[in-house]
Amino acid sequence: SEASPEFAAAGTEARGSRFVRACLRLPVDRTPIWLLRQAGRYMPEYMAVRKHHSLLDICRTPEIAAEVTITAAERLGVDAAIIFADLLLPFTPMGLDFEFLAGEGPVVHSPIRTAEQIHALRTDRVDELSYVGRAIEKVAAHFSGPRADGDQLGIIGFCGAPFTLASYMIEGGSSRNYIETKKLMYSDNAAWSLLMEKLVTVLVGFAQQQVEAGADVIQIFDSWVGALSVTDYRQYCLAPTTELIKRVQALGVPVIYFGVDTASLLPAMRETGADVVGLDWRVPLDVGWKAVGEGCGVQGNLDPIALFAPHDVLEARVREILAAAGGRPGHIFNLGHGIVPGTPVESVIKVVEWVKEYGTQ
């Protein structure tokens, strides 16, 4: 995207957020850092809240969602806060019931298997998700001033990408081989296209609420897109994902587009026009950046399981990533995927400290 001058003119530069500036590939004093799943079960503060509230209660109660978001960002000392929410929240206003079962993850009770079910999905009730916007307003109010180092904390809103959300709708939960998803994708072009179109409509509306509430950047999670060949990604997903990203950028914010196991998909993912592409840890950061090309930022890409390594090994991995980025504008330090339960909090904090120490640009 060539949108940088517009965003600078719109005032993001004036807010002095090194995270937002890095998303636009503008020079920064040091590499910004935040972490996927930075608020989660590895953190005692989150577990204390979780003891009294279900995951969906936390997501749907703006006071609690804001508290969990703020606590994680402040405890870790990161440069951006991602709103506490979940990828599957838009299913409810679309008319698809789901729940989170302990140990199993999300379960959709009547998975989508027919064109009739796709026709029945609603796209006109996105306003029912306004609790996410209200949580973002609280986070934005909390972080409205500059921090001790003069930097403005970035606020990240997010939504799923059409393929990854469709996979949950169709499989009914997490999946290994995406058989039902690919069956529908290959066998009923009209139904697949309609599903993609409906998801884009809902997701643009959801992102708009988040931007209006104060999100500085929108991250689009295409977590499971790595299950696709490049040919299938181009044929079935590139157009709707590009449409989503263009329409979110038109709201006036940069877009980070993230997936896992994407080494071979990176050039095609870049064609969506995303400002930043998220890299998982399987590809060296410089190789991944080369694959997405100049003109695009990258976010990543420490293996989240490296957080279990002895500190000398972990520190070497952090330095390796910063060296691969080479201080070029447009790198946001992150993990290659989310922090897992059981991760030592002190190792997460160490990584943040090392990036602050070694990430000077």
Q: Which of residues 238-297 bind ligand CP3 (CB under 6 A)?
A: none
37 is in an annotated binding site: yes
Q: Does 42 bind ligand CP3 (CB under 6 A)?
A: no
Q: Which of 32, 90, 106, 359 touches ligand CP3 (CB under 6 A)?
A: 106
Among the listed ranges 85-93, 111-119, 123-131, 320-328, the one in contact with ligand CP3 (CB under 6 A) is 85-93
Q: Does 19 bind ligand CP3 (CB under 6 A)?
A: no
Closest-by-Cβ residue to ligand CP3 is 223
Q: Does 326 bind ligand CP3 (CB under 6 A)?
A: no
Secondary structure of the chain in HEC code, one letter for each residue = CCCHHHHHHHCCCCCCCHHHHHHCCCCCCECCECCCCCCCCCCHHHHHHHCCCCHHHHHHCHHHHHHHHHHHHHHHCCCEEECCCCCCCCHHHHCCCEEEECCCEEEECCCCCCHHHHHHCCCCCHHHHHHHHHHHHHHHHHCCCCCCCCCCCEEEEEEECHHHHHHHHHHCCCCCCCHHHHHHHHHCHHHHHHHHHHHHHHHHHHHHHHHHHCCCEEEEEECCHHHCCHHHHHHHHHHHHHHHHHHHHCCCCCEEEEECCCCCCHHHHHCCCCCEEECCCCCCHHHHHHHHCCCCEEEEEECHHHHHCCHHHHHHHHHHHHHHHCCCCCEEEEECCCCCCCCCHHHHHHHHHHHHHHCEC
Is 191 or 237 the residue whose CB approaches ligand CP3 more closely? 237
Q: Which of residues 221-240 bind ligand CP3 (CB under 6 A)?
A: 221, 223
Q: Which of residues 117-136 bind ligand CP3 (CB under 6 A)?
A: none
233 is in an annotated binding site: no
Q: Does 151 bind ligand CP3 (CB under 6 A)?
A: no
Q: Does 140 bind ligand CP3 (CB under 6 A)?
A: no
Q: Which of 7, 19, 84, 281 touches ligand CP3 (CB under 6 A)?
A: 84
The site for ligand CP3, by CB under 6 A, has a size of: 22
Q: Does 306 bind ligand CP3 (CB under 6 A)?
A: no
Is 7 or 143 the residue whose CB approaches ligand CP3 more closely? 143
Task: Give the interface with ligand CP3 as residue ranges (CB under 6 A).
Answer: 36-41, 50, 55, 82, 84, 86-88, 100, 105-106, 158, 174, 221, 223, 337-338
List, as residue ranges, the binding site: 37-41, 86, 168, 223, 337
